[in-house]
Amino acid sequence: MSALYPDLAGRVALVTGGADGIGRATVMALARQGARCLVLDIDAGKGERLAAEAPGVVFRRADLRDVAATVAAIRDGEQATGPVALLVNNAGHDERHAFTEVTPDYWDDRLAVNLRHFMFVTQAVAPGLRAGRGAVVNLASTSWMQGAVNLIAYTTAKSAVIGFTRSLARELGPGGVRVNAVTPGWVMTERQRAAATAERLARAAERQALPGEILPEDVAAMIVFLLSGEARMCTGQNFIVDAGVV
Ligand SMILES: NC(=O)c1ccc[n+]([C@@H]2O[C@H](COP(=O)([O-])OP(=O)(O)OC[C@H]3O[C@@H](n4cnc5c(N)ncnc54)[C@H](O)[C@@H]3O)[C@@H](O)[C@H]2O)c1
């Protein structure tokens, strides 16, 4: 990403699931802007390595399914970074599941991984967001728009991210906080690339309006723009980065 947003320098951003994939690319892009990042992730190895590699990054391990432990990790991290003014609700997992085999416990677990923490992480940092007249970006997915199969708990959670974004924009807007969703198509993170067969890649290429792979950095560029003051009148919206599939 080559754009520079000087207003991001010195700002404090919390990126959930920031140790890998799109979250990691976002942290690297924010570090390049001179922002400080508090990264929460369940993967301590990758999180610690990122903190050692990128300037201004503070890592705290947290399983976002555990709300109390997550809020404690945020408070602890803020001791090092100062209050969070920018938030990227990014962590999620698209584990496949057959419709007939979903149990109530599995359903709750998938919603805890893909939706519940968006609410409680935002609630925990809302005072800092307001004080800093900050911004929130919530990661959704085109999978629900396409009615993807073997993913019903994930697509349910991801469609809810859009409703959450619309209401949150109204909740926080009067305090000057902007809230948007970013909806990626199929993005070639390390994990997705490992699962990509030649056939799946060919099918994806056929459905895109643009040729080429969507990279984590392409999504990070949209996120960073929306966090910056250049997007000062954008809120309550959903911005799709999918090379023109949906
Ligand atoms: N990659 C894609 O093609 C794609 C497409 C659409 C939407 N998305 C969305 O973008 C976001 C990022 O996805 P990604 O592809 O970069 O994923 P990824 O698997 O590459 O990275 C996700 C990160 O979240 C962390 N994480 C997962 N569960 C966690 C938990 N319970 N507690 C704490 N950390 C946890 C992982 O350890 C990992 O570091 C997700 O919300 C995902 O649903 C991704």
- Residues linked to residue 44 through DSSP beta bridges, in sequence order: none
Enumerate residues lining ligand 1, CB below 6 A: 17, 19-23, 41-43, 62-65, 90-94, 113, 139, 141, 184, 186-187, 189, 191-192
Q: Is 85 helix (H, G, I), strand (E, B) or coil?
A: coil
At 149, the pLDDT band (50, 70, 90 cuts) reads very high
CA dihedral 224, 228, 233, 239 (to 10 degrees): 0
**Residue whose CA is at the smallest distance from ligand 1 atom 41:** 92
**pLDDT of 187 over the 90 cut:** yes
> Residue 107 burial by CB count (10 A; 0-12/13-18/19+): exposed, middle or buried?
middle
> What mean pLDDT is predicted for residues 134-141?
99
For residue 212, pLDDT over 90 is answered with yes
pLDDT grade for 55, boundaries at 50, 70 and 90: very high
Look at residue 117 in the predicted model and tell me its pLDDT: 99
Task: Estimate to the nearest angstrom the gap between the alpha carbon of 124 and the chain centroid.
Answer: 16
Annotated catalytic residue 106: no
Instruction: Return the pLDDT at 154.
Output: 98
Q: Which atom of ligand 1 is nearest to the CA of 214?
A: 3
Q: Tokens representing 208?
A: 């895109």
What number is the average pLDDT over the span 142-150?
Answer: 97
User: Which residues in 6-41 are b (16+ Cβ under 10 Å) and which e?
Assistant: eebeebbbbbbbbbbbbbbbbbbbbbbbebbbbbbb
**pLDDT of 188 higher than 80:** yes
Over 15-58, what HEC string results?
EECCCCHHHHHHHHHHHHCCCEEEEEECCHHHHHHHHHHCCCEE
Residue 71 predicted with pLDDT over 90: yes
- Sketch out the chain's domains with CATH numbers: 6-186+216-241 (3.40.50.720)
- Mark out the alpha helices in the chain (DSSP H runs): 21-32, 44-53, 67-81, 104-111, 117-131, 152-172, 190-194, 198-207, 216-227
What confidence tens digit (pLDDT) does each residue in 83-98 have? 999 999 999 999 999 9
User: What's the rounded mean pLDDT across residues 153-165?
Assistant: 98
Quick check: 2 pLDDT over 90? no
Whether the CB-CB separation of 113 and 141 falls below 8 Å is answered with no
CB distance 149 to 101 below 8 Å: no
Residues forming beta bridges with residue 12, ordered by sequence position: 36
Cross-sheet strand order for the sheet of 178-184: 57-61, 36-41, 12-16, 86-89, 135-139, 178-184, 238-241
Burial classification of residue 233, based on how many CB atoms lie within 10 Å of its CB (0-12 exposed, 13-18 middle, 19 or more buried): exposed
Confidence band, pLDDT 50/70/90 cuts, at residue 1:
confident
pLDDT tens, position by position, 217-230? 999 999 999 999 99
Catalytic residue (one of 118, 154, 164, 239): 154
pLDDT of residue 77: 98
Question: How far does residue 99's CA lie from ligand 1's centre (Å)?
Answer: 22
Q: Which of 118, 124, 132 is nearest to 229 (CA)?
A: 132
Distance 63 CA to ligand 1 centre (A): 13
- Nearest-CA residue for ligand 1 atom 6 is 141
Average pLDDT over residues 1-10: 94
